[in-house]
Structure 1
Amino acid sequence: MFKLAFMQNAFLVATVISILCGVIGVFIIARQLSFLTHTLSEIGFSGASFGLWLGWTPLNGMLSFTIISALVAGCLGRDKPLKGTVISVISAFFMGLGVLFLTTAKSGSSYATNILFGSIVGISSQDVQQIVVIAGLELVVMFFLYRQLKFDFFDPIGAQTSFRHSWILNLIFLVMMSLSVSVVSQIVGALLVFALLTLPAASAQFWGRSVHALTLWSVGFALVGTWLGLVLGYWTNLPVTFFITTIETLIYLVSAGLGRLR
């Protein structure tokens, strides 16, 4: 299995993205941004379709749409967060726009399936390099902003009194979240991106008692889901996305059950 080039690429991308999801997911759960994550993934679907329409790679189109959307959301929500109704309207509009771009691009149903549900074993070498670079840069930024993010996301009242420009930090985080949505979509697809960005971190809440512990548990759960999902997908020839989402869901259910017992 590991002698095959496409499986080597798949495991490399899965490992890097799992670490990124484990780290950034803790802050997504803390700020309750799961709904916005799902919306960005649907905007990313539209961006990927737009990229195909222009002749770009789906990843580049997705990156352009999600980054612009994150910047707009950060600026509009500077004084108060966007309402759920507004986010729902935006989400519905971009899903329809994505269908339009796919139809006019005439790229075929296989492209639509890959965008919506991911195709990690079919990632090109160019995409692998781009994903690793983006995820690596995000992890570097998270390393330098970790203390500020921890303070702002887990103690927002205290952060408001000591950090006067916290909205800048939130804007940076939204951009990083948009980048994460784009790269994670390459594994699980635009519709299931929240599985890796939120489920491992949500499961970690039942095990960790500090931000450091939450991050370690979250990264561990994400790695287990992606690695085991790739192995099972290779053995059974069934979609890797199915196994990843199922494993992460089972981890969450078991964690929640044990948490209640304790």
Structure 2
Amino acid sequence: MLQALIEPLQYSFMQRSLVIAILVGLLCAVVGSYLMVQRLALLGDAISHSVLPGLAISFMVGGNIFVGAFIAGVLSTMAIAFIRTRSPIKEDAAMGIVFSAFFALGVTLITIIQKDNKIDLNHFLFGNILGVTGDEVRDTAVIAAIVLIVIVLLYKELLFYTFDPLGAQAAGLPVNRLNFGLMVLIALTIVASMKAVGVILVLSLLITPGATAYLLVKRLHEVMILGAVIGVISSISGMYLSYFYNLPSGPAIVLVVSGLFVLALLFSPRHGVLIPNANQKKA
């Protein structure tokens, strides 16, 4: 058993991949907890799809794809806010309009790029964690550090805003800045996760660990901590499954975290479908 755990670590690409997996599992779970509590899962989906044209344009001009993806993610959140505040269109409809338009543009640009360059950019859609470079590990670590530090520094303000935005506004908190700042943190998290699970599957890592923890604990900081543990365990387990069974790494990670959610849904002491006491409490 120990030999099986150690075996993949002899390869440098697996060492880099596991570092990325741990960082992404931790980061997505912490940031995604806010999305899940605010019932804004669609926003995470919108931003994750919206980064695609940014990275495609960055590739075309020879720029840093992380920077391009981040800019596109921020622009998408600004577009959603503009539509929501300047028209009678509701936020969920604005998200659907923006993310579908950005995603379509990104796919179109990638198709154009592939006509002139014999390269495969599909790993941005589905992830290619086994192909990460040392520079990408560094970039991901820097992004993770920035996001986690900001969340620690603004934890109380974000907590207040998350559960009572009207009360936070009445108390004098800059709710619009907090909202925009949270959107920026989500965009950074998605950018950091691109090579691990891709822009299509990243929503699962953003939402599922927090949702699993929410079935087991009550308070937001507990959801964050347990969600981070679940995210890291799922990422590492998915990597080992990918290595030993020759599976695509991104989908393997998502399947593990989804499996843990199903177990929590069925057997959670507080909300488990198959736990009689839990069902009585809900009744």
Q: TM-score range by the shorter chain?
A: over 0.9
* Paired residue secondary structure (2:104): helix
Contact residue 53 and residue 102 of structure 1 kept, 8 A: no
How much is the aligned-residue C-alpha RMSD, in angstroms?
Answer: 2.0
* Equivalent residue, structure 2, for 1:102: 110
Amino acid at match of 1:6: F
Q: Which has the larger radius of gyration?
A: 2
Does the alignment pair 1:31 with 2:38? yes
Deviates more, 1:59-68 or 1:222-231: 59-68
Report deviation, 1:137. Answer: 0.7
Does the alignment pair 1:59 with 2:102? no
Report deviation, 1:74. Answer: 4.6
Equivalent residues in 2 for 1:173-188, closer than 5 Å: 173-188=182-197
In structure 2, do the counterparts of structure 1 residues 136 and 82 end up closer, same or farther at CA, with 3 Å as the change threshold? farther
* Equivalent residue, structure 1, for 2:239: 230
* Equivalent residue, structure 1, for 2:75: 68
Contact residue 76 and residue 99 of structure 2 kept, 8 A: no
Amino acid at match of 1:12: V
Amino acid at match of 1:60: V
Amino acid at match of 1:89: I
Contact residue 165 and residue 175 of structure 2 kept, 8 A: no
* Equivalent residue, structure 1, for 2:100: 92
* Paired residue secondary structure (2:216): coil
Amino acid at match of 2:70: L
Contact residue 75 and residue 171 of structure 1 kept, 8 A: no
* Equivalent residue, structure 1, for 2:27: 20
User: What TM-score, normalized to structure 2?
Assistant: 0.86
Aligned residues: percent identity?
24
* Paired residue secondary structure (1:65): helix
Equivalent residues in 2 for 1:45-194, closer than 5 Å: 45-74=52-81, 77=84, 82-106=90-114, 107-108=117-118, 110-111=120-121, 113-194=122-203
Amino acid at match of 1:254: L
Q: Deviations over 1:62-82 (max 9, x none)?
A: 122112323444566569995
Contact residue 157 and residue 173 of structure 2 kept, 8 A: no
Q: Count matched residues.
A: 261
In structure 2, do the counterparts of structure 1 residues 152 and 237 end up closer, same or farther at CA, with 3 Å as the change threshold? same
Q: Deviations over 1:144-199 (max 9, x none)?
A: 00111111102334323213421111111111111111111221101111011011
Contact residue 52 and residue 102 of structure 1 kept, 8 A: no
Contact residue 53 and residue 104 of structure 1 kept, 8 A: no
Aligned equivalents of 1:26, 1:196: Cα separation in 2: 10
Report deviation, 1:6. Answer: 1.2
Contact residue 74 and residue 184 of structure 2 kept, 8 A: yes
Gaps of 5+ in 2: 1-7, 279-283
In structure 2, do the counterparts of structure 1 residues 158 and 245 end up closer, same or farther at CA, with 3 Å as the change threshold? same
1:247 to 235, 253, 256: 256
Report deviation, 1:257. Answer: 1.6
In structure 2, do the counterparts of structure 1 residues 198 and 148 end up closer, same or farther at CA, with 3 Å as the change threshold? same
In structure 2, do the counterparts of structure 1 residues 210 and 124 end up closer, same or farther at CA, with 3 Å as the change threshold? same
Aligned equivalents of 1:73, 1:137: Cα separation in 2: 24
Aligned equivalents of 2:64, 2:173: Cα separation in 1: 40
In structure 2, do the counterparts of structure 1 residues 239 and 128 end up closer, same or farther at CA, with 3 Å as the change threshold? same
Report deviation, 1:83. Answer: 2.6
* Paired residue secondary structure (2:199): coil
Gaps of 5+ in 1: none
User: What TM-score, normalized to structure 1?
Assistant: 0.92
Deviant stretches of 4+, over 3 Å:
71-82
